[in-house]
Amino acid sequence: MTLQFIADGLISGSLIGLGAIGITLTYSILRFSNFAHGDLMAWGAYGTLAVVGGIGEVVGGAAPIGALSFGWPLILAALAGMVMTACLALLLDWLLFARLREKGQSIIVVMASFGASMALRSLLEFIFSSSPAYYSRGIQMAMPIGFGIRITPDQIVLLGVTVVLVTAMHLFMSRSQTGREMRAYSQNPALARVVGIDVSGVVRATWIIGAALACAAGVMVGILVQIRPLMGLDLLLPMFAAAILGGIGSVPGAVLGGLIIGLSEAAAVQLIGAEWRSAVAFGILMAVLLVRPVGLFGRAER
């Protein structure tokens, strides 16, 4: 047995955690389970791919940065992709979710998100085909870092990026006025209006943040694994498990939940076999719902 699963688990866990932030915010603020969240991830990855292609057309290829598999065009494209994914989420909200939310039945919004998920996925398959795509064709060498663990330069850098994003997100939620308003609204929507909080601003911020982080996670999956229309759907269950394990509404909880799910999956793959990977998230989800439904950082409703 080696400790390789720790590195693998931390990396996939941090991506799950990034995605779970959007799920936990959507659930606690907009009050529905967004099953289309994984597809925002895939759209972000493909949107970024399209922009990378566009940059390549205009300026020609760019050399990778140092030992990484990608160069500055991918970084720029990922930023553009985050903006595009946020716009897509706002569009979906305007077209679909806002109208249904007004009617006040959350189960209808959830069903609509199923529909949106299918539509978004089919559209991706239609535009980009269902065969996998890659940001770069290069193969990276994994370096030994001791204890029998090997890790690639891409993995190290993306772990760092995740730490930065999660820290920024935590500071935003705890220190900024918009973050405070989002937390206030999730605790008591009526009181939030009483203290002068503009609900539409909170809703917008929730979509923008969730979608931008989903795109970031999608691009990272694209860099480390591959880009496929189904990539988001595959991560949906682990992301929900992470959000619920961490406690709905908690950003640090979602990230910690993601890491736990990622590490457990990687351990299961190494110890039992790869075919058990997807059972792990499901098992953890069930256990949390039965034993501690409010999750690690969750608090019982009023």
Partner 1 sequence: MSILQVKGLVAGYEPGLSIVKGASIQADEREIVVILGPNGAGKSSLIKAVAGLVPVTGGQVLLDGRDITHGAAHLRVRQGLAFVPQTENIFPLMTVDENLRVAGGVLARCEVQGRIDETYVMFPDLARQRRLAAGSLSGGQRQMLAVGRALIVHPRVLMLDEPSAGLSPKFVEMVFARLGEIRRAGLTIVLVEQNARAALAIGDRAYVLVEGREAHEGRAATLWDDPVVAELYLGQRRSA
Binding mask 198-237 for partner 1 (x = CB under 8 A): xx--------------------------------------
* CA–CA gap between residue 197 and residue 99 (Å, rounded): 20
- Interaction between residue 197 and partner 1 (CB under 8 A): yes
Compute the distance between CA of residue 83 and CA of residue 88 in angstroms, rounded to an integer.
9
Of 30-38, 98-106, 195-203, 259-267, the window that binds partner 1 (rule: CB under 8 A) is 195-203
**Residue 21 C-beta: closest distance to partner 1, Å:** 18
Q: Which stretch binds partner 1 (CB under 8 A): 40-48, 173-181, 220-228, 274-282?
A: 173-181
195 binds partner 1 (CB under 8 A): yes
- Indicate whether 194 belongs to the interface with partner 1 (CB under 8 A): yes
- Beta carbon nearer to partner 1, 113 or 186: 186
Q: Does 101 interact with partner 1 (rule: CB under 8 A)?
A: no
Provide the token pair at 241. Answer: 């498990």
Amino acid at 35: F
Neighbours of 59 (CB within 10 A): 9
Q: Are residues 121 and 233 in contact, defined by beta-carbon separation less than 8 angstroms?
A: yes
Q: Which of 54, 105, 129, 193 binds partner 1 (CB under 8 A)?
A: 193
CB-nearer residue toward partner 1: 42 or 202: 202
Query: In the range 134-163, which residues lie near partner 1 by CB under 8 A?
Result: none
Structural contact between residues 10 and 262, judged by C-beta atoms closer than 8 angstroms = yes
Say whether residue 39 binds partner 1 (CB under 8 A): no
Of 167 and 176, the one with the shorter C-beta distance to partner 1 is 176
Reported as type and span, the H/E element at residue 147 is none
Helix 251-271 and helix 231-246, axial crossing angle in degrees, nearest 10: 120
Contact letters (x/-) for partner 1, 50-69, by CB under 8 A? --------------------
Provide the minimum distance between the beta carbon of 295 and partner 1 in the complex, in angstroms, as a whole number: 14
Q: Is 299 in the site for partner 1 (CB under 8 A)?
A: yes
Of 209 and 263, CB closest to partner 1: 209
Residue tagged 């925002």 (tokens):
40
Contact criterion met (CB below 8 Å) for 259 and 10: yes
* Nearest in space to 239 (alpha carbons), one of 10, 12, 11, 19: 19
Q: How far is the CB of 187 from partner 1 (least distance, A)?
A: 5
Cα angle 238, 239, 240; round to 5 = 95
Tokens of 99: 């109208």
∠ CA 33-104-110, nearest 5°, is 25
105 binds partner 1 (CB under 8 A): no
User: Could you tell me which stretch among 119-127, 182-190, 229-237, 256-264 binds partner 1 (CB under 8 A)?
Assistant: 182-190
d(CA 22, CA 241): 13
Q: Which two tokens stand for residue 67?
A: 């030992």
Minimum CB separation of residue 183 from partner 1 in Å reads 6
φ and ψ at residue 61, rounded to 5 degrees:
-70, 150
184 binds partner 1 (CB under 8 A): yes
Kindly list the residues in this chain that would bind partner 1 in the complex (CB under 8 A). 177, 180-181, 183-184, 187-188, 190-191, 193-199, 299, 302
